[in-house]
Structure 1
Amino acid sequence: MNKAFTKEEDGTTPQRLPDLPISEHPNHVTPRGLAQLKARADKLEAEIARLRANRDYMADSYPLAVAERDLRYVEARLASAILVEPPEDPPGHVSFGATVTVVDEDGIETSYTIVGEDESDPNQHLIAAFSPLARALMEARVGDVVEWPRPSGLVELEVLAISFEG
């Protein structure tokens, strides 16, 4: 294509970054996860307003482009959110939103909470519902032994307790 017909960045218009990929998984969220998404949207809106109010933002529009891209992502996640309230009468099995205490083959007890994708944080033992560990635990009952497929091999976990926040 002739160079005369292409638009180059001239620094006068803010750049638009490509959108972040949206997961193909259903966007189930806990009440806490929904609140976190809303708080993140509010924070991003404030950051965008601050950047736009700064007269020098055109000199470096990248921070604004990042904040706008992130806000588009969070708004899409909010629009597709499926709120899953904790059950009033907890079922006797593991389901979305459950905190599950397990013991492994070495006798080490750990608790995991099954949450939505945006709320997951493995370091805090918040695991996404479609993760291998959550899938292994789903529908398990206290006393059940489940097999968790890990790259290092199968790990057997015994379910000790199931609880729901709320």
Structure 2
Amino acid sequence: MSEKEVILTPDGLKRLEEELEELKSVKRKEVAERIKEAISYGDISENSEYEEAKNEQAFIEGRIITLEKLLRNARVIRNDDVHTDVVSIGSTVKLKDLEFGDEVEYTIVGSAESDPFNNKISNESPVGKAILNKQKGAIVEVNVPAGVIQYKILDIRK
């Protein structure tokens, strides 16, 4: 079974690489010290510091494995790959909600760097899927739990 390709912007790649480096060089050492210290307290069977440190260690190691896998399968979208004639991964798109008149701006990213709170939505999200490969001026319908939202694409930029 082949692993799924992970699409990243250069910023997303940099962030994941920095997180991986931090986990490997700093967090691993910190948690190892905490484990060593907890063991020095004696009986580890009822030692909450030891249990907590071991759980954190398992989380860190799991995250390292996840990040290494993401980076191994990464395809980086370069600025030259992003066009302004149609919506693509890496595009920043201004949309207008045709029912309420609200305008929103999203940057389309791969699912690994999706961050809706910072207006970075995945190409696999309902809105991302609906607007991908569409042109400025297009009206798209997005199925959401509350029904259907219609957006007009006002602008596409890098």
Band the TM-score falls in, shorter-chain normalisation:
0.7 to 0.9
Alignment gaps of 5+ in structure 1:
1-23
Q: Residue 30 of structure 2 corresponds to which residue in structure 1?
A: 50
Cα separation, partners in 2 of 1:43 and 1:160, compared to 1, 3 Å: same
Q: Alignment partner for residue 145 of structure 1, among 104, 116, 139?
A: 139
Deviation at 1:63, TM superposition (A): 1.3
Alignment gaps of 5+ in structure 2:
40-49
The number of equivalent residue pairs is 141
Q: Alignment partner for residue 15 of structure 2, among 36, 53, 58?
A: 36
Cα separation, partners in 2 of 1:90 and 1:75, compared to 1, 3 Å: same
Asked if 1:62 corresponds to 2:42, the answer is no
Superposition misfits of 4+ residues, deviation over 4 angstroms: none
- 1:69 and 1:152 mapped to 2: Cα distance? 36
- 1:89 and 1:47 mapped to 2: Cα distance? 36
Deviation at 1:56, TM superposition (A): 2.2
- 1:88 and 1:31 mapped to 2: Cα distance? 12
| TM-score, scaled to structure 1 | 0.78
- 2:10 and 2:124 mapped to 1: Cα distance? 18
Deviation at 1:91, TM superposition (A): 4.2
- 2:81 and 2:123 mapped to 1: Cα distance? 20
- Per-residue CA deviations over 1:96-123 (Å, capped at 9, x if unaligned) read 1101001012111100111121211112
What is the root-mean-square deviation of aligned Cα atoms in Å?
1.7
Deviation at 1:85, TM superposition (A): 0.7
Asked if 1:157 corresponds to 2:151, the answer is yes
| TM-score, scaled to structure 2 | 0.82
What secondary structure does 2:140 align onto?
strand
Written as runs of structure 1 = structure 2, the 5 A alignment for 1:1-166 is 25-45=4-24, 46-54=26-34, 55-56=36-37, 59-60=50-51, 61-87=54-80, 90-105=83-98, 106-164=100-158
Cα separation, partners in 2 of 1:89 and 1:82, compared to 1, 3 Å: closer
Greater helix content? 2
